[in-house]
Amino acid sequence: MANQNYLQQLNDVQRAAVTNTEGPVLVVAGPGSGKTRVLTYRIAHLIEEGVAPWEILALTFTNKAAREMKERIAKVVGERANKVWAGTFHSIFARILRVEADKIGYPSNFTIYDTDDTKSVISSIVKEMNLNKDTYNVNAIRSRISSAKSNLITPKLYEKDEELRQEDRMAKRPHLYAIYQKYVARCKRSGAMDFDDLLFRLYELFQKNPDGVLDKYRKKFRYLLVDEFQDTNHLQYAIIRKFINYDGSPRNICVVGDDAQSIYAFRGATIQNILDFENDFKTHGIQIFKLEQNYRSTEHIVKAANEVITYNRKQIQKTIWSDKGEGQRIRVIKALTDGEEGKRVADTIMEQKNRFHLSNDEIAILYRTNSQSRVFEEYLRRYNVPYRVFGGLSFYQRKEVKDLIAYLRLAVNPNDEEALRRVINYPKRGIGNATVDKISALASQADKPMWQCLGSAQVGARAQNSINDFVAMVKSFMQRADSDNAYELAAHIAKRSGILDDLKNDTSVEGLNRLENVNALLDGIKSFVEEDTVIDTETVPDKSLASYLQNIALLTDLDDNNQSGDHVTLMSVHAAKGLEFKSVFVVGMEEKLFPSFLSLDTPEGLDEERRLFYVAITRAEQFLTLSFANSRYRFGQMRYNEPSRFLEEIPGRHVESTAYVRSEMSSLERADNSSSGARVSGNFSRPAAALPRVDPKDFRPAPPGDIQTGMKVLHLKFGEGKVLSIDGAKDNRIATIFFRDAGDPQERKIMLKFAKLQIL
């Protein structure tokens, strides 16, 4: 008999989402609405109702989320939770590919390339093709290839796609298709897949083996659950459809997500997947459950978030509500400079710590770009407040760590060219760049991995002797890989390769830190070996080096965000998704910063920025502070800023301001506030006057140098105005303009170089 106690912990809508297990289900989960609880209890309920745990596949976006999911399921069903296939898209697909890779021409011990490996391969291809490395920017090419794979465009299809080729010609990169072809061939030759390949190659595997491999996994997984569905890309949804379309009809799929928190378009995610899901399955009896009760935030925060998101064009309608009481109004800090903003945010943090007894780890500062952290770090240091910045260099990206991992990768897959290039002459053994280039050229000519050409290149006797010693050493590692566990082999490689001795010879502080990092890596491998980890329900726990390398290769950004310790958290809004804090500061709330100037060209871009703001403010439980600066240095120049349009979208009844944020606030509003004894409260609701009032087709902006004091001018957004004064010189001229249009009189300071004004 199933244990029903866990169902009593759910509200009515949550319980319905958990117990309606058959057919397609869409759970629209607002922020703080118990999404994870619904997902985990749904899996536990399936198991309690008699479904075998290994017949359940749950896909997440971080390993941390998958771990937490299993821990919560285990509280209901015990150790059976370990047999659920729960993990990230990449980790689950890598597990399947390890078993089936030979069917698409890959070895089962394929290497997983990280971003640095990918960039290194592209860089070497650009160099071999004698192309300009500035024009053929490595990051741009990597992004282009990733986008192609996410949209199921193979190198052959890319070459035939005239639209893509024309875009490349416009960007002065006509040979990009050839780089893509060579990149794919190089990875295959090295027995390597990048992160995109883990999806792309799985789709290829299913497409080429519908009756064998695909049918096997369709039968294996009777129930499919997808977390954070709004963050999936075109390819991920295509694979999901492969899993669930059986004999032409979809089976049991449950997707959980919130369209209002879709913020990863820059990684290829498309909000269209969650918006289209209902239509895709409406003929198959889809059930939709909306989780609208927010258990995290107080009413002012929740209602402000509701108001802001209504400005977006495409969305699934829902109204988030909270029964945690009104709470504190949202505070807005206006500063003259970014330095003053940093100081006032730090002052407010000290006030909250003293007045409300908040600990440091209950406070977060969120910003649009990582470069904004500097000024807040400076003032937190002055105030002796411990903090931690997320988004720095990952432990696994440090040189000494990557060096040892490259040796470990070679022991598992000697055809891994990026690992080979990295350590063939580290520690130094007399194999210079010219020798490596000869080996590389021979490998390209013969279309073989470099490993297979190490004995054939025409190099000097001394270099060849060093190469022979290197080959013998790697072969000895490969032999031990069959018998040693991951830690035994890694400890042997660290010593035998000479890495430990090389680091011990550097007695500087930096050198000691590097040695400490390598020892920390070895400690991590030992921990991996000693943990009781079940890799697969059909195998014994796997403690091999190959298993360890796959484990660390599949770590995601958020898996590095260990939040232990009493420190204020500083991070980008993107990194904060899924987290919550008692007090949140969203800083830099200025036009062209948040929303980003890159987003202002398209309605879709602006909608995504607004969703990002929605995510930021819904991280706060009790206290939400928004701050902006009238001026800040950006890219070496002083920039003058207007408050973000998102501030105007928050109704004044939810805001407590520390300054007059809008200079045009009427005297009546001021009198009302002062007579009632209330603090000054800005009215941020967007007036009709804030909308464009001029037909862009008729608008003719004048050169900035032509604008003079006393002129009447027209602005696309603010309408007709008069130039009161101009300060500054040349590119830094700032005009003070009184705009009187549409009954919304106000003075604004505008940098003329960016103003776009028509002289009347």
The backbone torsions φ and ψ at residue 749, rounded to the nearest 5 degrees and listed phi first, read: -100, 125
Which pLDDT does position 542 carry in this prediction? Answer: 72
Tell me the two tokens of residue 118: 């990918």
Q: Assess whether pLDDT exceeds 50 at residue 687.
A: no
DSSP string, 387-410: EEESSS--GGGSHHHHHHHHHHHH
Which pLDDT does position 590 carry in this prediction? Answer: 94
Cα(364)–Cα(358) distance, integer angstroms:
11
Contact 408, 490 (CB under 8 A): yes
Which range scores top for mean pLDDT: 249-258, 361-370, 662-671? Answer: 361-370
Q: Assess whether pLDDT exceeds 70 at residue 359.
A: yes
Cα dihedral 103, 109, 113, 117 sign: negative
Which pLDDT does position 348 carry in this prediction? Answer: 96
Cα(267)–Cα(150) distance, integer angstroms:
10
Three state DSSP letters for 455-518? CCCCCCHHHHHHHHHHHHHHHHHHHHCCCCCHHHHHHHHHHHCCHHHHHHCCCCHHHHHHHHHH
**Could you list the active site residues?**
35-36, 227-228, 261, 619
| pTM for the whole structure | 0.76
pLDDT tens sequence across 440-492: 889 888 889 999 999 887 888 888 999 999 999 999 999 998 888 899 999 99
Q: How many CB atoms lie within 10 A of CB 758?
A: 16
Inter-CA distances, 247 with 57, 205, 215, 351, 469, Å:
19, 19, 10, 63, 57
Q: Assess whether pLDDT exceeds 50 at residue 692.
A: no
Which pLDDT does position 715 carry in this prediction? Answer: 83
Which pLDDT does position 539 carry in this prediction? Answer: 38
Q: Which residues touch 67 (CB under 8 Å, ≥6 apart)?
A: none
Q: How is residue 322 annotated by DSSP?
A: -
Which pLDDT does position 663 carry in this prediction? Answer: 39
Cα(515)–Cα(237) distance, integer angstroms:
44
Which pLDDT does position 515 carry in this prediction? Answer: 87
Q: Assess whether pLDDT exceeds 80 at residue 332.
A: yes
Q: Assess whether pLDDT exceeds 80 at residue 743.
A: no
Which pLDDT does position 658 carry in this prediction? Answer: 54
pLDDT tens sequence across 345-357: 999 999 999 999 9
Least confident of 46-50, 79-83, 177-181: 79-83
pLDDT tens sequence across 401-425: 899 999 999 999 999 999 999 999 9
